A and B are shown apart, each in its own frame.
Chain A
């Protein structure tokens, strides 16, 4: 059960990433960044590239090492713990920082936003489960 949930979590992260490919176009990042200082503009894109790399790494690590995560090997538990914290922080941002109301003008945008929130919740739950309730037991 946990193994399947982890494989699904790996896929969910790659799906979130695939969906986020359209974000710069939908929110016209290029146009909005036109008046911004060139260094900050470049930093903005560099930050974005590295966030994408991190999510790819989380997804690939999970798909490649889900059995170790499900079994509760120490490093795998740590990886699950930090991925859970990462997505918990993202969930906090979703609720406490972003104010998306003025962008959610279509039903499918609203549905997508709520689906994203559910995906974050799922990721926090599954990785927390794998990190804090290992099948092998033992100390971290």
Chain B
């Protein structure tokens, strides 16, 4: 029988590293994906809201990362209700993100393009994995 707690603690720390990396990538997304011209064409308010929302998603990911790293042992142990609530919140966030990846974005973005399809499948796996990990931590017996 594999001991779940150390494995989950390791998973949470690994997740913290991944979340930090994703936050940093998200900060530079506009430049990385060459959106500068498209974003520049947006009306002023929409452009500002788009950028501000992007920054706050990055801040949120950094918050998740810091909490996961600092409290990995407690979350993995499911010690107190507040740790389970935190894990459930982060798990729900990623569960919704996984569903949106499957249902909201048009498949036209990656259809016939193996590189984009690989990125889509990778992100789907990562988002789904995070949802599973945190929900498992929240609802463990």
Interface of A toward B, CB cutoff 8 Å: 27, 29, 32-33, 35-40, 42-44, 46-51, 53-54, 57, 61, 64-65, 68, 73-76, 78-79, 82, 85-86, 89-90, 93, 97-98, 103
Could you list 28 examples of A-B contacts with CB < 8 Å? Answer: A29-B46, A29-B49, A32-B42, A36-B46, A37-B35, A38-B106, A40-B42, A44-B50, A46-B104, A50-B96, A50-B97, A53-B92, A54-B93, A61-B85, A64-B85, A65-B82, A65-B85, A68-B82, A74-B71, A75-B71, A75-B82, A75-B83, A76-B82, A78-B67, A86-B63, A89-B56, A93-B55, A98-B52
Q: Per a CB cutoff under 8 Å, which of B55, B71, B105 touches A78?
A: B71
Say yes or no: is B43 at the interface (Cβ < 8 Å to chain A): yes
Whether B45 pairs with A27 at a CB distance below 8 angstroms is yes
Q: For the complex, what is the distance from the CA of A37 to the CA of B36, rounded to whole Å?
A: 12
Whether B56 pairs with A90 at a CB distance below 8 angstroms is yes
Residues from chain B with Cβ under 8 Å of A53 in the complex: 92-93, 96
- Is chain B's binding surface mostly helix, strand, loop or mixed? helix
Whether A40 pairs with B50 at a CB distance below 8 angstroms is yes
Contact with A along B30-56 (1 / 0, CB 8 A): 000001001101110110111111111
Contact with A along B98-118 (1 / 0, CB 8 A): 001000111001000000000
Number of A-B residue pairs with CB-CB distance less than 8 Å in the complex they form: 104
Query: Would you list which residues of chain B between 40 and 82 have a CB under 8 Å from chain A?
Result: 41-43, 45-46, 48-57, 59-60, 63, 66-67, 70-71, 74, 80, 82
Q: For the complex, what is the distance from the CA of A4 to the CA of B85, rounded to whole Å?
A: 21
Whether B100 pairs with A46 at a CB distance below 8 angstroms is yes
Whether A51 pairs with B71 at a CB distance below 8 angstroms is no
Q: For the complex, what is the distance from the CA of A79 to the CA of B48, rounded to whole Å?
A: 27
Whether A89 pairs with B71 at a CB distance below 8 angstroms is no
The contact size tier of chain B is 35 or more
Query: Would you list which residues of chain B between 84 and 98 have a CB under 8 Å from chain A?
Result: 85-86, 89, 92-93, 96-97
Whether A98 pairs with B35 at a CB distance below 8 angstroms is no
Q: For the complex, what is the distance from the CA of A47 to the CA of B39, rounded to whole Å?
A: 15
Central interface residue in B39, B49, B106, by most chain A CB within 10 Å:
B49
Whether A32 pairs with B46 at a CB distance below 8 angstroms is yes
- Is chain A's binding surface mostly helix, strand, loop or mixed? helix
**CB-nearest residue of chain A to B88:** A57
Residues from chain A with Cβ under 8 Å of B49 in the complex: 29, 44
Min distance, Cβ A114 to any Cβ of chain B, angstroms = 19
Whether B42 pairs with A36 at a CB distance below 8 angstroms is yes
Residues from chain B with Cβ under 8 Å of A103 in the complex: 45
Min distance, Cβ B50 to any Cβ of chain A, angstroms = 5
**CB-nearest residue of chain A to B93:** A53
Whether A47 pairs with B59 at a CB distance below 8 angstroms is no
